[in-house]
Chains A and B, each alone.
Chain A
Amino acid sequence: EVQLVESGGGLIQPGGSLRLSCAASGFTVSTNYMSWVRQAPGKGLEWVSVLYSGGSTYYADSVKGRFTISRDNSKNTLYLQMNSLRAEDTAIYYCARYPKYDYGMDVWGQGTTVTVS
């Protein structure tokens, strides 16, 4: 079964750091395009970052310079390192897969909650 399972969320003080993990099963992270998407309480979806299969990374302006997306091929796991956290980073963080470059995200994790307070 194709599945994504996030972990690593929690309560963190402003200025702190947190690393989110997204363990994949049923497919290979390194051969897909992988993203992080977040949703603040009561708000819409916000695209955060993407890691292409070739290794290129891109970020939303709101997190650029503070967040880093990466993967561990041996663990088939995607990560999001979040530094200098702010109250406005409080959200549910989802990881998701794009099966191809110009496709939508067809597999989503259940989300992990980050609260910055």
Chain B
Amino acid sequence: DIQMTQSPSSLSASVGDRVTITCRASQGIRNYLAWYQQKPGKVPKLLIQAASTLQSGVPSRFSGSGSGTDFTLTISSLQPEDVATYYCQKCDSAPRTFGQGTKVEIK
């Protein structure tokens, strides 16, 4: 099975900072990757699918890139409401594994 590895596991940044989270697949998954945001105590929310397609209503400060095995989620200017844990997920064949998550906090 393909493993999904995120880094870092947590980060602390200042408001306005550019934040980058990486997700690496143990084998190529083309662009079949989604990113989710889960705020504390809330249900996960789909941010990006197909590696770079922003879901409707998601702020444009979020962007995704990558293909094959290496992917990134970027928040161009971190806002207080972005405090959350972010997960990547492979979206091709089963098992549709998640990364272990990256917790983003405000410094």
- Chain A contacts to B: CB under 8 angstroms: 35, 37, 44-47, 50, 58-61, 94, 98, 102-106, 108-111
A45 to B96, CA, bound (A): 11
Number of interface residues of B (CB under 8 A): 27
Which residues from chain A contact B95 at a C-beta distance below 8 Å? Answer: 47, 58-61
Mask of B57-69 contacts with A, CB within 8 angstroms, 1/0: 0000000000000
A106 to B47, CA, bound (A): 9
Which residues from chain B contact A94 at a C-beta distance below 8 Å? Answer: 43-44
Rounded to whole Å, the gap between the CB of B16 and the closest CB of chain A is 28
Asked if A102 and B87 sit within 8 Å, CB to CB, the answer is no
Given contacts A102-B50, A106-B46, contact A44 B97 (CB under 8 A): no
Contact partner, A44, options B1, B34, B55, B100, Cβ 8 Å: B100
A68 to B33, CA, bound (A): 26
Given contacts A45-B44, A109-B43, contact A58 B36 (CB under 8 A): no
Asked if A103 and B94 sit within 8 Å, CB to CB, the answer is no
Count, A-B residue pairs, CB within 8 A: 64
Asked if A47 and B44 sit within 8 Å, CB to CB, the answer is no
Which residues from chain B contact A44 at a C-beta distance below 8 Å? Answer: 85, 87, 98-101
A24 to B32, CA, bound (A): 25
A110 to B43, CA, bound (A): 6
Q: Which residue of A lies closest to B97 (CB)?
A: A47
Q: List 14 A-B contacts (CB under 8 A).
A: A44-B99, A47-B89, A47-B95, A47-B96, A98-B91, A102-B32, A102-B50, A103-B34, A104-B35, A104-B89, A105-B34, A108-B43, A110-B43, A111-B43
Q: Is B17 an interface residue (CB 8 A)?
A: no
A104 to B99, CA, bound (A): 14
